[in-house]
Structure 1
Amino acid sequence: MLKTLKSYFGYTSFRPLQEQIISTILQKKDTLVLMPTGGGKSMCYQLPALLMEGTAIVVSPLISLMKDQVESLQANGIVARALNSTNDDATNAQLYFECVQGRVKLLYISPERLMSEMNYLLRDINISLFAIDEAHCISHWGHDFRPEYTQLKNIRRFFPHVPVMALTATADKITREDIIQQLEMRNPEIFISSFDRPNLSLEVKRGYPQKEKIKTIVKFLRRHRNESGIIYCMSRNGTEKVAGLLEEEGFDVGVYHAGLSNEQREMMQDDFINDRIQIICATIAFGMGIDKSNVRWVIHYNLPKSIENFYQEIGRAGRDGLPSETLLFYSFSDIILLSRFAAESHQQSINLEKLNRMQQYAESDICRRRILLNYFGETMDHDCGNCDVCKNPPERFDGTIIVQKALSAIARTDQQIGTRTLIDILKGYASSEVLEKGYDKLKTYGVGRDVPGKDWQDYLLQMLNLGYFEIAYNENNHLKITPSGKKVLFGKERAPLVVIKREESHGKKTAAKGHKAAAPVPMFSSTVFEEEDAELFEKLRLLRKDLADQLAIPAYIVLSDKTLHLLAFKKPQSIEEFGEISGIGEFKKERYGKDFLTVIHNHLQKKAD
């Protein structure tokens, strides 16, 4: 196993659980694998495929993901193919011939195509194992249910003696049980890897209006020049709008959403994978087919609808294990819109509950990583030190008067207003609804003038999360005071609120009553080693890009960022030393060694002169 790992993939040791998982599959046992994005899931079926006789069938939901995996395997000298709708007849004929001859070690296929090939191609080849990637798609309880996946139970009937492996990065306990049942797995071994991604920093900013969001993103992007990242938006319109605003600021931004044609989407994804575009503004439709290892950051312009979605999307950053940043914006309007979507869905109660958990994560004043891990059934007995809560522990103050002002305004309108009107009343704004309904005559009109409007939004989010009022989605989003809220309103309980910490956009730190500016979050160095030769790294990066362009493959498939950093640090002098670098197997050593050694040699010669 270790010899094959080094020879083909260039690694000298396994990641946690990989060795046990591979051993289980080699014993032909059914296996369920839960491992985070970037945790090494694909190795769990790729390595046994090389060690077993026959062809491993890998079920994958997206053509782009198949293409990426096949290119990566071929770059390591492994015979892998994809059977999908982009193939022409000649390609398929050659593929069938190679499979029947036993030459193909891994065949990637969509669930629909798998069903149609059950009585044709699959019947004529020696199958070593079935690997079902993104297995949560088979479950109604999963966050990305796909009806075509439910047909996969036929694998067991047609191929009763072939081991089945199901893999996913996001599945809670209910979803796991459903995957086992749907695939009719036989006493499967279950492996649950740690869901911790310590290289990802976690940060949440709440209550920011659009203008402030864009300013913050622009500042963020200027710190991440020449680094790839994704901005997720809730709607198609949102992606276009954000991309337009960023283009006005001088950034080259791509857009990806379901409103584009297939050709446009494929072109955009291809441009991003091949580093022709560094920034993509996308709906959640984007990225599932991305295996790009050097995504350095992910921004959520809006709140995701569940922790599963959020975890999967931030998981697209830092797959190479290097430090990467994630930033989540979140506002009251997100909650209202997502709650409406959940209420109108077929699984109303579970979707509302999942949204509630996502909201609790964003609202929390405890270590965010602990909340994420706890959601997936993993406990951590210490704070992570790499999220905004850990870096800036919250201060609390007695917010009873603020809460009473808001609740009193809700009560005096007979609980017939939404948040916007509530803020108008508290701030003393003469909006059309305030004047029409006579709310300007209320005792509470203008009692919150001393609190900025965006801070009122923030306090209302805290109040919602603390359960002082709720939103009646079936009554035009009117706010209703809860029993807990009544206790505060009538002075029976105090209301602790968290001091708002906000970075002022002009860079000056200002402090007001109950408001403090946040300390800036320290940035990670983009290099792995302090002693790394930065000039050499840049030369190696340019060589990698040239080689990738010649081969028409993404640069990270030639060599990962991590491997490039190691080369710039260790500066190997011989082909043997080059082959000892982590991530360089026999095939890559022979194919690329001479080119990279030449650049290293010339660089060192120049420095010596």
Structure 2
Amino acid sequence: MSDSALELLRRIFGHSDFRGEQAQIVQHVADGGDALVLMPTGGGKSLCYQLPSLLREGCGLVVSPLIALMQDQVEALRQLGVRAAYLNSTLSADDAAEVERQLLAGELELLYVAPERLLSPRCLNLIDRARIALFAIDEAHCVSQWGHDFRPEYRELTILHERWPDIPRIALTATADAPTQREIAERLNLEDARRFVSSFDRPNLRYRVVHKDNGTRQLLDFLAAHRGESGIVYAFSRRRVEAVAEQLVEAGLRALPYHAGMDAAVRAANQRRFLQEDGVVMVATIAFGMGIDKPDVRFVAHVDLPKSIEGYYQETGRAGRDGEPAEAWLCYGLGDVVNLRQLIQQGEAGEERKRLELRKLDALLGYCESTQCRRQALLGWFGEPHPGACGNCDNCLEPPQSWDGTEAARKALSCVYRTGQRFGAGHVIDVLRGVRTEKVDKFGHERLSTWGIGADLDLRQWSSVFRQLVAAGLLEADIERHGALRLTADSGPVLRGERELRFRVEAPKAARTRGKSRGTAAPAALDLEPAALQRFNALREWRSVTAREQNVPAYVIFHDATLRAIAESAPDDLDELAQIPGIGASKLDRYGEAVLQHLLDHA
């Protein structure tokens, strides 16, 4: 690693050393090499193109699909003393012209551009006349039509290599399974690029999966342990987002909705509040997506099942970017599976695409019902081995028990068959348990041989059986019959007694946690000594005021991890403060005296 790279790392970013493969990536790109970088959210991807841009002559041009967040990314760089700007549709004609002038005059070190803007003739001509240090293609998985967030305009980014073959390119993403990785390399002409694949593991994240049983109550119980913390709640539909946000507000939480159907100004204002304020819970569809740079998100909760493991992994990855403990909580039910299958099969995609999406949904369902270590299952999907027993997921912390479900499975499958494969799980369970209903009487199902043969299991246990049969691929939902269950080819051996099955024991309902709270301190500070905790909270308050004055997110001033280090060490002067990770020369000049004065005031 060159001395100049380490010097810039320390002076600008305030870090004494690189993490993981950052050093090799920075050196490779700074030397003019192409790179494909796969690194988990929070692993430090941005540094891998920002630092080479500073080391090379010219301006680094960053392609990002996230117009709404470019301003925050640029502001964070400016706080570090880096000359950065963005070009997108939010700028007036005069402001855009000024950015173009700065680029041509060599006054910029980093420029963020949306792909649609980049591909315009005006922008391509601008690049022809400018000195470009490198091209960085962020969120590179958007190029893959088989990935979870395909953006057609990304396919046209091959023009970067065709038109400027001597300018190095670096493509980066946090989520790409093996097929998506291959497609990224192919579509962006990066087959010969050096590939850097970091571990996908996020050891600070605790994964939990619960079966849906009054999802709103379960969510409130979960959030009771996260009072005063920033987090994201993902829901399936716009209507569900609005309803959940309203319920959280009624419960006394600072919750805001976010979905594509909202007024654009309201949506932008809600996002701004989430990024700038502490303790806000954003309830959102996946429209609230990539590039959420807020480092102190302490939880991501899913109240409905996502569509794929890749989507789930990326969404949960928005928690704990600062490396501190965070939680990924997923609550799902069989109804979620039916809804998603219907959404996929009724979509306009081709049959091959639909089959792929259904396989990915089945894989996620299998993950939910698995008794193995959650981390092992997640990493396995991305081709990364893990020994299991991570000690930080529900299956490791409370290992699930299993039971011989072969006979119950045969009863369930037989009842589905004898009722004509025309009904959902609810009616089939009524027949198995011998519960008389209007539907049972209407179809005469009390006369079936399977009537009442499952009275030994209660409703909750049978619901678990059917969910696990679907997860095992022995039953599937018939969308044309509104989610009616039908047998698959794999169910035959079970019905004939040729295959045994074991099911996980349904966990008892969790006790209510009403009134339980962590208070308003972030987990990063919970293990501090009382005096250090007082300093930490005082520094967070100062940071909030400062951020509001500048109209920027609080984390742009300092991350929680930096405030924690300051609170622990209690520096007496600027030289000591400069040794804190995350405090470079620019931030020392801007905030050093104020931080020291604040520490003195709260000594």
Whether these two folds match at TM > 0.5 is yes
Q: Does 1:56 align with 2:55?
A: no
2-structure distance, mates of 1:42, 1:524: 25
Which is worse superposed, 293-302 or 431-440?
Answer: 431-440
Q: Does 1:307 align with 2:312?
A: no
Task: Give the deviation of 1:284 after TM superposition.
Answer: 0.5
Q: Match of 1:527?
A: 525
Alignment of 1:465-476 (within 5 A): 465-476=471-482
Secondary structure at 1:416 match in 2: coil
Structure 1: any 5+ residue segments left out of the alignment? 509-522, 605-609
Counterpart amino acid of residue 590 in structure 1: D
**Superposed CA offset, 1:303-323 (max 9, x none):** 110111001100100001110
Alignment of 1:593-608 (within 5 A): 593-604=592-603
Q: Does 1:153 align with 2:155?
A: no
2-structure distance, mates of 1:162, 1:57: 11
Q: Match of 2:20?
A: 16
Instruction: Pick the aligned partner of 1:477 from 476, 479, 483.
Output: 483
Structure 2: any 5+ residue segments left out of the alignment? 515-520
Whether the aligned pair in 2 keeps the contact of 1:215 and 1:505 (CA below 8 Å) is no
Task: Give the deviation of 1:530 after TM superposition.
Answer: 4.2
Whether the aligned pair in 1 keeps the contact of 2:372 and 2:388 (CA below 8 Å) is no
Query: What root-mean-square deviation, in Å, do the aligned CA atoms of Structure 1 and Structure 2 show?
Result: 2.0
Task: Give the deviation of 1:10 after TM superposition.
Answer: 0.6
Task: Give the deviation of 1:475 after TM superposition.
Answer: 4.5
Q: Match of 1:512?
A: none
Task: Give the deviation of 1:247 after TM superposition.
Answer: 2.2
Alignment of 1:286-305 (within 5 A): 286-305=288-307
1-structure distance, mates of 2:205, 2:501: 33
Alignment of 1:420-499 (within 5 A): 420-482=426-488, 484-499=490-505
Task: Give the deviation of 1:449 after TM superposition.
Answer: 4.1
Task: Give the deviation of 1:528 after TM superposition.
Answer: 6.6
Whether the aligned pair in 1 keeps the contact of 2:144 and 2:183 (CA below 8 Å) is yes
Task: Give the deviation of 1:45 after TM superposition.
Answer: 0.3
Secondary structure at 1:107 match in 2: strand
Whether the aligned pair in 2 keeps the contact of 1:385 and 1:391 (CA below 8 Å) is yes
Instruction: Pick the aligned partner of 2:338 from 332, 336, 339.
Output: 336
Instruction: Pick the aligned partner of 1:91 from 89, 95, 114.
Output: 95
2-structure distance, mates of 1:488, 1:526: 50
Counterpart amino acid of residue 564 in structure 2: H
Instruction: Pick the aligned partner of 1:252 from 251, 254, 259.
Output: 254
Q: Match of 2:558?
A: 559
Task: Give the deviation of 1:335 after TM superposition.
Answer: 0.9
Instruction: Pick the aligned partner of 1:399 from 382, 405, 425.
Output: 405
1-structure distance, mates of 2:91, 2:497: 70
**Superposed CA offset, 1:49-97 (max 9, x none):** 1111100100000112211210110111111000000001221122112
Counterpart amino acid of residue 587 in structure 1: S
Instruction: Pick the aligned partner of 1:367 from 363, 373, 392.
Output: 373
Q: Match of 2:245?
A: 243
Counterpart amino acid of residue 567 in structure 2: A
Task: Give the deviation of 1:279 after TM superposition.
Answer: 0.7
2-structure distance, mates of 1:450, 1:536: 59
Task: Give the deviation of 1:415 after TM superposition.
Answer: 2.5
Q: Match of 2:518?
A: none
Alignment of 1:87-126 (within 5 A): 87-116=91-120, 117-126=122-131
Instruction: Pick the aligned partner of 1:223 from 222, 225, 242.
Output: 225
**Superposed CA offset, 1:276-333 (max 9, x none):** 6611110011032421111110001111101110011001000011100110011101
Change (3 A) 1:382 1:399: closer
Whether the aligned pair in 2 keeps the contact of 1:566 and 1:581 (CA below 8 Å) is yes
Instruction: Pick the aligned partner of 2:144 from 134, 139, 142.
Output: 139
Which is worse superposed, 465-474 or 34-43?
Answer: 465-474
Secondary structure at 1:504 match in 2: coil
Secondary structure at 2:295 match in 1: coil
Secondary structure at 1:50 match in 2: helix
Counterpart amino acid of residue 3 in structure 1: E
**Superposed CA offset, 1:482-526 (max 9, x none):** 455344444444432211113334479xxxxxxxxxxxxxx9954
Task: Give the deviation of 1:198 after TM superposition.
Answer: 0.3
Change (3 A) 1:49 1:506: closer
Q: Match of 2:580?
A: 581
Q: Match of 1:513?
A: none
Whether the aligned pair in 2 keeps the contact of 1:536 and 1:603 (CA below 8 Å) is yes
Whether the aligned pair in 1 keeps the contact of 2:221 and 2:513 (CA below 8 Å) is no
Q: Match of 1:128?
A: 133
Change (3 A) 1:276 1:59: same
Whether the aligned pair in 2 keeps the contact of 1:64 and 1:289 (CA below 8 Å) is no
TM-score under structure 1 length normalisation = 0.92
Instruction: Pick the aligned partner of 1:196 from 201, 205, 222.
Output: 201
2-structure distance, mates of 1:456, 1:65: 46
Q: Match of 1:79?
A: 83
Count of residues paired in the alignment: 587
Change (3 A) 1:123 1:484: closer
Whether the aligned pair in 2 keeps the contact of 1:464 and 1:470 (CA below 8 Å) is yes
Counterpart amino acid of residue 414 in structure 2: S
Instruction: Pick the aligned partner of 1:67 from 49, 71, 74.
Output: 71
1-structure distance, mates of 2:500, 2:84: 64
Whether the aligned pair in 1 keeps the contact of 2:136 and 2:171 (CA below 8 Å) is yes
Instruction: Pick the aligned partner of 2:177 from 149, 168, 172.
Output: 172
Counterpart amino acid of residue 232 in structure 2: I
Whether the aligned pair in 1 keeps the contact of 2:205 and 2:328 (CA below 8 Å) is yes
Task: Give the deviation of 1:580 after TM superposition.
Answer: 0.6
Counterpart amino acid of residue 83 in structure 1: L
1-structure distance, mates of 2:357, 2:269: 33
Q: Does 1:379 align with 2:385?
A: yes
Counterpart amino acid of residue 416 in structure 2: I
Q: Match of 2:517?
A: none
Change (3 A) 1:507 1:80: closer
Whether the aligned pair in 2 keeps the contact of 1:65 and 1:288 (CA below 8 Å) is no
Task: Give the deviation of 1:122 after TM superposition.
Answer: 1.1
Whether the aligned pair in 2 keeps the contact of 1:271 and 1:277 (CA below 8 Å) is no
Secondary structure at 1:2 match in 2: helix
Alignment of 1:490-509 (within 5 A): 490-506=496-512
Secondary structure at 1:121 match in 2: helix
Change (3 A) 1:248 1:447: farther
Task: Give the deviation of 1:404 after TM superposition.
Answer: 3.0
Task: Give the deviation of 1:479 after TM superposition.
Answer: 2.4
Whether the aligned pair in 2 keeps the contact of 1:36 and 1:195 (CA below 8 Å) is yes
Task: Give the deviation of 1:130 after TM superposition.
Answer: 0.3
**Superposed CA offset, 1:174-198 (max 9, x none):** 2112112212236100000110000
**How high is the sequence identity, in percent, across the aligned residues?**
41
Task: Give the deviation of 1:529 after TM superposition.
Answer: 4.6
**Superposed CA offset, 1:455-488 (max 9, x none):** 3221211122234333333444332334553444
Task: Give the deviation of 1:435 after TM superposition.
Answer: 2.0
Whether the aligned pair in 2 keeps the contact of 1:138 and 1:147 (CA below 8 Å) is yes
Instruction: Pick the aligned partner of 1:354 from 347, 350, 360.
Output: 360
Q: Match of 1:283?
A: 285
Change (3 A) 1:162 1:507: closer
Q: Match of 2:35?
A: 31
Counterpart amino acid of residue 61 in structure 2: I
Whether the aligned pair in 1 keeps the contact of 2:62 and 2:135 (CA below 8 Å) is yes
Counterpart amino acid of residue 54 in structure 1: G
